[in-house]
Every structure is written in structure tokens, then in C-alpha cells.
């Protein structure tokens, strides 16, 4: 129903707040609706014209909502860019321009779930020791105010340690899990879904770190269910991809699915190819830097309840695309649906 009809029924549009303004609008509406029409004052006519002009934009505003997107921006050397401003960004949602509202720096890694793969393909001692080294480094290097949880899986989720435990307890569990070889199939999707459930409705900055070769062979959960859970909660996945050059399949579709899902959530894939201490430390520190340094970009989006495609880019003052900057952000957003995530 248009705004003028609302007035004729004795209701003012939501932006009309003062009683004086409502009185003028009601008077103008009665003048317009009367039969035969009397001579309306110029004030009445101008009020109606203004109302009809504003009504479409009022409806548009009611069909939009503000949300914040977790964004990471890095230069060619992989260093975080700390001085970007809101007007440096351009957003498009479902192919249409979206208004940038704000840009603030994140407050670091708040909650991190570490996922350890104990399936047969990760059973080798070198892989287990590398997994242990990376996981321990993350717990040590992420800021002290961060909370950690742990999920261990093979053919099913075999162990879960929720938030609220000390870093000493988490480190002890990592050491214990890494000490014995794993076996069996891989239920990676189930492990990822369990990890998202530990995060509840989600908080901005939440992340899940996966240490695995990406193989999936035994989950009850589907990839689409996992994708929906992560994108709707705005949770990033960071995937330490253990690469085996000796036994690697030419077409590991589940591994490719894991890579794609990671990138869709706004996380990154860190290849683990060599298991020497120096390179493992560098790999862990790279991901720790990604976890801790990011922006929260405020965007005005249509009030859609389904996941829809988002595109972001950094532009120069003339509006042209700036080269040499790599952005990580969720490639699909649930618009108003993601407002349920805690700030």
C-alpha cells in the first residue's frame, strides 16, 4: 500500500514523526480525496508531491539492512594493510552496488576451533609431528584473550573439547592426540559442522583452523549444509593443507571442495609441503597473522534471507580498481540473516 493510501486510512508513514507534520499530511489527503474536489491550497499540493516522491525511497530503506563483513586486505608481500578507509572499498551484491557504511579494525582472534585429522591418510609420524607443531604454535602465538576449542576426527568425530579450557589443557590434548597414529576413513564435513556448532550463533572474528589433507570419505553431513552453517554465521575457515607428493591422487575432488569452501568463507589455504621446523613455524605465523588482523566492513544490503553473491574491491579516488591488493572475504552473504551474529 502506498504512503498516500496509508494517510487516507488515518496512518502516517513511519518517517513522519511530529504531530504537526501528520496534521498537514492528513489535511492534504482529505483535500485530495474529497468529491467534488475543493480548491486545495498550494501547501496541500506540495505536500502530496513531496510525499509521493519520498515514498519509493522509504520502501527501499525498509527493504535494506546494515551488516558487517569480515575482510582481510594484504599487499603483494602478504602484509596486512592497516590504513585503508571505508571510501577505499566498493561493494556489489547480486550484481548491484551496495553502500559502504563504515570500516573498523577487528579486535583480534576471539574464538578459534582447531580441527585435527586422525584418519589413515594422516597417520604418518612426520605428518602427525607437523600437525602438532603447527597447532601448538597457533595456541602460543594468538593473543592471550583468544579462546580455543578442539575437534578431533577420523571416520567420525572422536573427541571434542569446548571453549572455556585453559591453553595448557588445549596444548596437552594436542600432544596426546598427535602421539598415536590415526586410522580409517575421513569425516571432514562432520568435523566442520561440529566445529561450527561449538561457536553457537557466531561472533565476528570467529575462525576454524583445519589441519588435514582435505580428504572426505565418510561424513553424514553434506558439503552444502556445512557451507550454509559457516556463511550464515560469518565464520572463517583456515585450511592447513598437508600435501603428499608421493601418494597424491590426480583428482582429489573432496580436497578441492575443502579448498573452495575455505576461500568462500573468507579464509585462506596454507599448503604444508615440507615438514622442517622453520617452514612449519612460518606457516603457522602466517595464519596467525590472518586470524588476528582484519577489518569489519559495514555494508548496506538488501533484506534477502538467502545466501547471495558478494563482490568487494579496493578502488582509488577516481573509482578505478587498485592493483596489488588481495582481499579475503565471504563470497556469499545472507544479508539481514547474518545480523543474528553477535558483534
Share of the chain above pLDDT 90, in %: 60
Sheet with 308-314, strands from edge to edge, namely 326-328, 64-74, 295-302, 96-105, 89-93, 308-314, 332-333
Tens-digit pLDDT profile for residues 104-163:
999 877 899 999 999 999 989 999 999 999 999 999 988 778 999 999 999 999 999 999
> Residue 306 has what pLDDT?
77
Per-residue HEC secondary structure of 167-180 comes to HHHHHHHHHHHHHC
List all residues 6 or more positions away from 342 whose beta carbon is below 8 Å from its beta carbon: 201, 202, 203, 204
Average pLDDT over residues 194-222: 94
Summarised one tens digit per residue, pLDDT across range 167-203 is 999 999 999 999 998 889 999 999 999 999 999 988 8
pTM summary value: 0.79
Report domain extents, the chain. Answer: 3-62, 65-106+294-340, 111-290
Is 86 or 42 the better-scoring residue by pLDDT?
A: 86
C-alpha cell at 22: 501528520
- The pLDDT assigned to 294 comes to 95
- Per-residue confidence (pLDDT) for residue 206, from 0 to 100: 95
CATH tag, 111-290: 3.40.50.410
Percent composition of the chain: helix, strand, coil (DSSP 3-state, to 5): 40, 25, 35
Amino acid at each position: 500500500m502506498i504512503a498516500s493510501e496509508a494517510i487516507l486510512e488515518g496512518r502516517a508513514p513511519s518517517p513522519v514523526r511530529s504531530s504537526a507534520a501528520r496534521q498537514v499530511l492528513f489535511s492534504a489527503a482529505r483535500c485530495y480525496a474529497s468529491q467534488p474536489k475543493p480548491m486545495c491550497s498550494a501547501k496541500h499540493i506540495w505536500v502530496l508531491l513531496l510525499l509521493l516522491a519520498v515514498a519509493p525511497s522509504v520502501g527501499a530503506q525498509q527493504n535494506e539492512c546494515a551488516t558487517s563483513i569480515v575482510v582481510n586486505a594484504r599487499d603483494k608481500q602478504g602484509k596486512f594493510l592497516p590504513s585503508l578507509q571505508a571510501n577505499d572499498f566498493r561493494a556489489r551484491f547480486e550484481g548491484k552496488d551496495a553502500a559502504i557504511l563504515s570500516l573498523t579494525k577487528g579486535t583480534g582472534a576471539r574464538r578459534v576451533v582447531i580441527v585435527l585429522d586422525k584418519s589413515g591418510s594422516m597417520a604418518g609420524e612426520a605428518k602427525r609431528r607437523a600437525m602438532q607443531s603447527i597447532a601448538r604454535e597457533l595456541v602460543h602465538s594468538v593473543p592471550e584473550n583468544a579462546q580455543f576449542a578442539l575437534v578431533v576426527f577420523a571416520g567420525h568425530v572422536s573427541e571434542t573439547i569446548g571453549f572455556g579450557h585453559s591453553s595448557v589443557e588445549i596444548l596437552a590434548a594436542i600432544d596426546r592426540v598427535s602421539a598415536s597414529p590415526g586410522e580409517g576413513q575421513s569425516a571432514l564435513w562432520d568435523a566442520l559442522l561440529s566445529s561450527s556448532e561449538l561457536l553457537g550463533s557466531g561472533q565476528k572474528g570467529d575462525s576454524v583452523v583445519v589441519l588435514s589433507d582435505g580428504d572426505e570419505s565418510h561424513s553424514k553431513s553434506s558439503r552444502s549444509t556445512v557451507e550454509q552453517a559457516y556463511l550464515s554465521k560469518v565464520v572463517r575457515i583456515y585450511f592447513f593443507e598437508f600435501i603428499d607428493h608421493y601418494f597424491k591422487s590426480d583428482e582429489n575432488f573432496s580436497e578441492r571442495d575443502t579448498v573452495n569452501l575455505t576461500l568462500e568463507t573468507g579464509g585462506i589455504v596454507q599448503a604444508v609441503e615440507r615438514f622442517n621446523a622453520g617452514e612449519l613455524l612460518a606457516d603457522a605465523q602466517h595464519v596467525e597473522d590472518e586470524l588476528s588482523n582484519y577489518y569489519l566492513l559495514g555494508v548496506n544490503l538488501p533484506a534477502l534471507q538467502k545466501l547471495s553473491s558478494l563482490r568487494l574491491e579496493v578502488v582509488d579516488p577516481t573509482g578505478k580498481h587498485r592493483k596489488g591488493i588481495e582481499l579475503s572475504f565471504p563470497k556469499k552473504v545472507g544479508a539481514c540473516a547474518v545480523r543474528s551474529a553477535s558483534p
